[in-house]
A and B are shown apart, each in its own frame.
Chain A
Amino acid sequence: MIQTTYQETKKTTGLRILMDILKRHGIFVALIALFIVGSLISDVFLSPRNIFNILRQSSIVGIMAIGMTFVLIGGDIDLSVGSTLSLCMVLAIGLQQQGLALSILIVLIVGILVGLLNGLLVGLFKANAFIVTLGTMSIVQAIALIYSKGYHMLGDPESAFSIIGRGMIGPVPIPVIIFIAFSIVFHIILNNSKFGYSVYATGGNAKAAWASGIHTGLTKLLAFALTGFTAAVGALVMSSRLASAQPSAGQGYELDVIAAVILGGTSLLGGRGSILRTVVGALFFAVFSNLMILLNVAYPFQLVIKGAIIICAVWADIIGRRALQQ
């Protein structure tokens, strides 16, 4: 019996390894395929300038998706990140006169506070995450509109604040550096800290996690606070890049962010996912949008293809995983 299984594993051919990789890491393969298609179709696609452009475009959704990964692994969802992005953007521009450090600090604190509010409602009051964050989405959006009085706010593009979104270190844009740094730091936190384990355990089986001594409510609270924080950082990058802020700029961002996380293979049911996969998911969307622009595809058709890709990617992932289980 043992011998036969040994022989079977020995039979593993190159093709089977390939299929295995395809089943396990479909989204990576899809990203590479997209890159190959892009380089074949367009001459400028693989130029360093375009590559950095893609990275910069992916960085805002990517940074926000990193926080969202924690919430989704914990088995919850946060629909308020788009509004948080809007609020933090108008604050970042509106408070510019108060000094650089102070304005950034306030923006980050506000982001974390929104996250804490969500976390408090979901983690401690045990409210349904979907509907409560729908409520806070509405509240935070209203605060952003009230603060900005509904106007498009213009900042000072010459101030030092612009470095966050427009600056470069060598050839690398600063948003990309922030994105990469966040990915590494939060990858380590998710995989090597007690908090990270608690998030997985809470999302996998909240009762079992509670029984084994993990404070699930507190874990959720922290995960939401983290999402608020990353949304604030995303807002800093975006408002500094645009040197302006619109109170409705973040509308629909929550769906982009969640789609990026889920495209990476993080389960909506919680308990499974990784930062690396989320990063790939965010990159996939950015590469896709870039290709569509290079190919001059009209916006409505971009939407149609994007919707089809979301469904197909998740479908392929499910088929692959089912094949693995068999």
Chain B
Amino acid sequence: MNFLKLFAKHRVWFILLGILIVTILMSPNFLTVRNISNVLLQTSINGIIALGMTFLLISGDFDLSVGSVMALSAALAIGLQSRGILTACITAVVLGSAFGLLNGFLVTKAKINAFIVTLGTMTMVRGIVLAYTNQRPISGSNSSFLNLSGSSWLGIPIPAFIFFAGVIVSHIILTYNSLGRNCFAIGGNREASIFSGIRVDRYRIIYFTICSFTASIAGIVLASRLNTASPVYGQDTALMVVAAVLLGGTSLAGGSGSVIQTLAGVMIIGVLNNSLNLLNVFSYYQGLIIGIILVVVTILDSYYAKKRKFEAQIVTKRLEFKKELNNGT
């Protein structure tokens, strides 16, 4: 019974463990240093965005534009390289985050649905990227930019360090800081948050900006891998990232979730992609398998949510019954 409860609570980690065991048993190449660092490198880009998306989903909002923002940031980081790598990266991050600010303003002040706003900015930013790059991939002149994701420390690539540092920082913010605590409050009950004095609009704008900020960082990392930026980067990033965050158990309805769980969700998708590659599964079947897993996990999630709700009802009924008993005697 206790084990079942433990399993239900941390099921993402058990799923990850299961996938890891199956992968290790089936392909001997998985547990090599080179492959592991490869997996970490591949997952860190979507993972970094997933951190920002976790904030946003917990607060009950949503961002489709992360893929386009990532492409914009990548294009700027490459295109402005002639003025120095640092200047290029800072410009990329600032401009990318500005779109988060725009999203936040439109969602909170103009009260437009987040899905529509970010669909609109997604299209707009994609247009800007295509215009900026003249619709073809651009490559950088300064090869030291490659060091950002090319070099590694203790066998772990630098982007993975950025990702893990992001996980730790986000976790601390979400659990111990008012910026993160308010996230749960706003997602759990927006009206109650307003009445308890939280500046809901301001915080939601901040969360949108955080999400775009992480997307910009991911764009810089992506650009540094080949010192190239393609205008079609990140076409399905938003969906993969949201999938990873939800796999981690963050609810689409808002109010619950955690960055640590998101880490598990990101790793599941990363390990799965990698193991399918190692097992020589044709790439078309990978989409099939990932889709099936997504469907199964979602059904499980709704099952557990229903069960939780039912258990909560039983607990309240019991409490009421006890109260009545006490009043009677």
Contact with A along B234-278 (1 / 0, CB 8 A): 010001001100100000100000000000000000000000000
Q: Which of A130, A138, A308, A315 contacts B110 (CB 8 A)?
A: A315
Cβ-defined contact, B295 with A121, below 8 A: yes
Q: Is A136 an interface residue (CB 8 A)?
A: yes
Return the chain B residue nearest A140 by Cβ: B291
Judging by beta carbons under 8 Å apart, are B292 and A298 in contact?
A: no
Which residues of chain A in 253-289 are interfacial with respect to chain B, using CB atoms and an 8 Å cutoff?
255, 258-259, 262, 268
A128-B252, A131-B252, A300-B135 known; A136 vs B123 contact (CB < 8 Å): no
Q: Considering the complex of A and B, which 6 residue pairs feature the smallest CB-CB distances, nearest first?
A: A303-B127, A138-B291, A307-B124, A307-B123, A135-B294, A139-B291
Binary per-residue interface labels of chain B (289-309) against chain A in the complex, 1 for a CB within 8 Å, 0 otherwise: 011111100110111001000
Interface core residue of A143, A145, A255, A314 (most chain B CB under 10 Å): A314
Can you sample 29 A-B contacts with CB below 8 Å? Answer: A126-B306, A127-B295, A127-B299, A128-B252, A128-B298, A131-B298, A132-B298, A135-B290, A135-B293, A135-B294, A135-B295, A137-B239, A137-B291, A138-B288, A138-B290, A142-B284, A258-B119, A262-B116, A298-B131, A304-B127, A306-B124, A307-B120, A307-B123, A308-B120, A308-B124, A310-B116, A310-B119, A311-B117, A314-B113
Size range of the chain A interface in the assembly: 35 or more
Task: Tell yes or no: A134 within 8 A of B by CB.
Answer: yes
**Residues of chain B from 120 to 165 with CB closer than 8 A to chain A in the complex:** 120-131, 135
- Residues of chain B contacted by A251 (CB below 8 angstroms): 235
Chain B residues with CB under 8 Å of A132's CB are 294-295, 298-299
Tell me if B298 and A304 are in contact (CB < 8 A): no
Minimum CB–CB distance from A122 to chain B (whole Å) comes to 10
**Contact across chains for B291 and A135 when beta carbons are under 8 A apart:** yes
Chain B residues in contact with chain A, CB under 8 A? Answer: 106, 110-113, 115-117, 119-131, 135, 235, 239, 242-243, 246, 252, 284-288, 290-295, 298-299, 301-303, 306
In chain A, what residue has the closest Cβ to B288? A142
Q: Are B123 and A303 in contact (CB under 8 A)?
A: yes
Check if A146 sits within 8 Å of B291, measured CB to CB.
Answer: no
Cβ A307 vs Cβ B291 within 8 A: no
**B112:A318 contact, CB within 8 angstroms:** yes
**A157 interface residue, CB < 8 Å from B?**
no
Q: Evaluate contact between B284 and A146: CB separation under 8 angstroms.
A: yes
Q: Are A136 and B291 in contact (CB under 8 A)?
A: yes
Select B112's contact among A145, A150, A315, beta carbons within 8 Å. Answer: A315
Q: CA separation between A300 and B121, bound complex, in Å?
A: 13
Query: Is A310 touching B123 in the complex (CB atoms < 8 A)?
Result: yes
Known contacts A146-B284, A268-B116, A299-B135: A135-B111 contact under CB 8 Å: no
Q: Could you count the A-B residue pairs with CB atoms below 8 Å apart for me: how many are there?
A: 141
Told that A307-B122, A308-B124 touch, could you supply 15 new A-B pairs with CB distance under 8 A? Answer: A127-B301, A128-B246, A132-B295, A132-B299, A138-B288, A138-B290, A139-B292, A145-B284, A259-B116, A301-B131, A304-B123, A304-B128, A311-B120, A314-B113, A315-B112
Chain B residue nearest to A144 (CB atoms) is: B284
Would A301 and B302 count as touching, CB distance under 8 A?
Answer: no
Asked if A135 contacts B113 (CB within 8 A), the reply is no
- Picked from A127, A139, A308, the residue with its CB within 8 Å of the CB of B298 is A127
Which residues of the partner chain A approach B115 to less than 8 Å between Cβ atoms?
A: 268
Inter-subunit contact B242/A311 (CB<8 Å): no
A143 to B128: give the CA distance in the assembly, Å.
33
Residue A302 at the chain B interface, CB threshold 8 Å: yes
* Nearest opposing residue in chain A for B295, CB measure: A135
- Closest Cβ of chain A: how far from B17's Cβ, in Å? 22
* Contact in complex: A131, B284 (CB < 8 Å): no
Considering the chains assembled together, what is the distance between the CA atoms of A72 and B261 in angstroms?
A: 30
Q: Give chain A nearest CB distance to B169 CB in angstroms.
A: 27
Query: Shortest CB–CB separation between residue A271 and chain B, in angstroms?
Result: 14
What is the 8 Å Cβ interface bit string for chain A, positions 237-251, against chain B (1 contact, 0 not)?
Answer: 000000000000001
- A7-55 contacts to B (CB < 8 Å): none
